[in-house]
Amino acid sequence: LITITSLVHEETESLADSERDEPRRNATKRSDVGPQTPAEGDETVTRFYRFISSTLKTKTRRKTGEVYKGTDERWQCRFCNGYYTGHPENRSNLALHLNVASNKNCCKKIYDPEDKSLRGLYKQPTKEDAAAPGQHSPAGTASSTSTSLLPGRGQQRLDMWRASQKTEMTKQKVEEVRRLVLQWVIMDNQPFVQPTSPHFQAILLALNPAVGPALLSPRQLRRDLELAYGHVVQDAVAYLRKHGIRFSVSHDAWTSPSRRYTFLSFVVSYVDVDWSFKQFILAFDVLDGPHIGAILA
């Protein structure tokens, strides 16, 4: 009887020890968290942590006072072996712990991790690239090395949006410079070759290297003038129609000093709604020969 009782007691203790060790075995099985590549939208970098435990707690929302059941997770950083708390719905603090660009108090072992398998994931910045934001962050821009970390989808979309905005702003700036150069040539009666002066172009490039595409040939400047003229005439005619203004059309002609060409212009004159006298050129043609009746006809 004593022997049977002893056996039962030993079996009971063995079963109890087994039950106590079960959570430890489960924790060991899931010590290395998640896949090497996070799921879509997951930028919490939990693959750089070991999952320790989770606890269900009763919590209260600050704004509404609502009582709910929440889970607190305990994670261990694989770089510094420090312990940090996370939540299934938000683990951004775990990502911030490893964000070199945004967090001055980031992980101290980021470049010399305790887990040697993580060596080389973060490259210590040099003086040249210290100013580049985000390149040493798990959610930052991927570097050219094979061990670099790929940016999250959210960061990729943000980078694409910023690139498109920069391209659009550069395009608008180039168009504005071309318009201002054309206006300068017209109002100051400059030759079309004047903007091609290397000294003038050096000034523009020194102000903004991105305006290089605005430095075009005299022929392109002339084409820009023709396009601008078309828009100005359309606006003027639309103004006359909108306000029902009466106008007169007159023309004038003159010959070049060499008498090889005749210049013929048509001018619209009118009084606007503010009783101011206005004129604009409706058309301007160049004819061969002097301005005699036969040529004009």
> E strands of 40-90, at which residues?
49-60, 67-77, 83-86
Write out residues in the chain with pLDDT < 50, as ranges: 1-5, 7-8, 11, 15, 22-44, 131-150
Give the pLDDT of residue 7: 45
Structural domain total, the chain: 2
Residue 139, exposed/middle/buried by CB under 10 A (0-12, 13-18, 19+)?
buried
Q: What span, in angstroms and rounded, lies between the C-alpha atoms of 139 and 49?
A: 16
Listed residues 110, 127, 151: the one ending a domain: 151
Residue 289 has what DSSP assignment? S
Q: What span, in angstroms and rounded, lies between the C-alpha atoms of 233 and 228?
A: 9
Judgement on whether residues 140 and 193 belong to the same structural domain of the protein = no
CB-CB contact of 142 with 31 (8 Å): no
Q: Which of 102, 48, 100 is nearest to 79 (CA)?
A: 48
Give the pLDDT of residue 76: 92
Judgement on whether residues 42 and 104 belong to the same structural domain of the protein = yes
Judgement on whether residues 36 and 118 belong to the same structural domain of the protein = yes
Q: Which two tokens stand for residue 283?
A: 């058309």
Give the pLDDT of residue 246: 92
Q: What span, in angstroms and rounded, lies between the C-alpha atoms of 229 and 138?
A: 54
Q: Domain of residue 195: give its range.
A: 153-218
278 phi and psi angles, rounded to 5 deg: -130, 155
Q: Is residue 223 part of a domain?
A: no
Q: Which two tokens stand for residue 260?
A: 């090889």
Q: Which residues make beta-bridge pairs with 283?
A: 266
For 59, the 3-state DSSP assignment is strand
Listed residues 218, 240, 269: the one ending a domain: 218
Give the pLDDT of residue 16: 52
Judgement on whether residues 64 and 179 belong to the same structural domain of the protein = no
pTM: 0.37
Q: What is the dihedral of CA 82, 83, 85, 91, to 10 degrees?
A: 40
Judgement on whether residues 104 and 159 belong to the same structural domain of the protein = no
Contacts of 277 (CB under 8 A, 6+ apart): 269, 270, 271
Give the pLDDT of residue 169: 59
Judgement on whether residues 136 and 194 belong to the same structural domain of the protein = no
Write the pLDDT tens digit of every residue in 107-162. 988 888 998 888 888 877 766 555 444 444 444 444 444 344 445 566 566 566 55
Q: Which of 81, 79, 107, 78 is nearest to 93 (CA)?
A: 107
Judgement on whether residues 202 and 89 belong to the same structural domain of the protein = no
Q: Which residues make beta-bridge pairs with 285?
A: 264
Contacts of 196 (CB under 8 A, 6+ apart): 215, 217, 218
Residue 110, exposed/middle/buried by CB under 10 A (0-12, 13-18, 19+)?
buried
- Which residue type sits at 211? V
CB-CB contact of 262 with 294 (8 Å): no
The total number of residues written for the chain in this structure: 297
